[in-house]
Amino acid sequence: MNVLLVIPRRDAYSILSAPDIGVAYIARAALNTGAKVEVLDAHKEKMGYDEFKHHLKKKRYDLIAFKCLSMDINVVLNYCRAVKEIDQKIITVLG
């Protein structure tokens, strides 16, 4: 299973300069099950909708999970739309 874990781009200033430990825990758990895991920090990469959609076309994912705080919901919903435009069968998870 190919898994993509996404930290969304934020319009607001993010004071977290360290890697996201929660995403790291999820990545390790998925790796322990045999999944192939990629972490995409769209905030660090300054990745908007078009760049995210272009990234999705490079590889086939079975599951895409998004870190989603209240302030992230609009960006994450747009990312989800991009996922479903490419392949309706990709499982999307927010948390």
Q: Which of 11-25, 35-49, 66-80 has the lowest mean pLDDT?
A: 11-25
pLDDT in tens, 35-60: 999 999 998 888 889 999 999 999 99
- Confidence grade of residue 1 (pLDDT, cut at 50, 70, 90): very high
Residue identified by tokens 């045999």 is 34
Provide the pLDDT for residue 54.
95
Query: Which secondary-structure segment (H or E) carries 72?
Result: none
Are 79 and 92 spatial neighbours (Cβ–Cβ below 8 Å)?
Answer: no
Tell which residue, 1, 22, 4, has the closest CA to residue 92: 4
Burial level of 9, CB count in 10 A (0-12/13-18/19+)? buried
> DSSP states of 15-62 as a string?
---S--HHHHHHHHHHHHTT-EEEEEETTTTT--HHHHHHHHHTS--S
